[in-house]
Amino acid sequence: MLRPGDRDPVPVRIVHLGRPRADDYLLAFDDSRVVVGATHEDDAGFDHRATAAGMAEVLNEALSVAPGPAGATHLETRIGFRPVGPDIRPLLGAVPQVAGLIVANGLGASGLTMGPYAGTVAARLARRADPGIDLTPYDPLR
């Protein structure tokens, strides 16, 4: 988490930095904080340490696209596990074998950006309303 100085340009609300799995992003908040993320390490297991290499990778990638926050103050680093579906698509939909069970998970790095929409779809399903999209590609049991 960064806080740019008064003269540092803050990036637009959301910027995906172009890697195929959309792991790298900048997300600006109204109070001028900017989240810069994130590493994707399939082979790290449940190692929850913030490594210097991981932080350098994230910051270098972000600043290569949006150099404005280079002088920003580093506020904090958070570590989390972001589960993904077996084919990178989220797991989103009802589980017919268990009445009332709605799954909304597996968003991976896109959770910050896609999470509100997935939550809206899950809420529609819970209310037995039309989810507004074809959920076949996101079937949690696929």
Decide if pLDDT at 12 tops 60. no
Which of 55, 52, 51, 67 minimizes the C-alpha distance to 17? 67
How far apart are the two ends of the chain, measured CA to CA in Å? 35
Most confident of 32-46, 91-105, 108-122: 91-105
How far is the C-alpha of 14 from the C-alpha of 25, rounded, in Å?
Answer: 7
pLDDT of 121 strictly over 70: yes
- Dist CA 27 CA 13 (whole Å): 6
What is the average pLDDT across 27-41?
A: 81
* Residue given tokens 């909304």 in the structure block: 104
Instruction: Say yes or no to pLDDT of 7 above 70.
Output: no
SS3 52: helix
pTM of the entire predicted model: 0.64
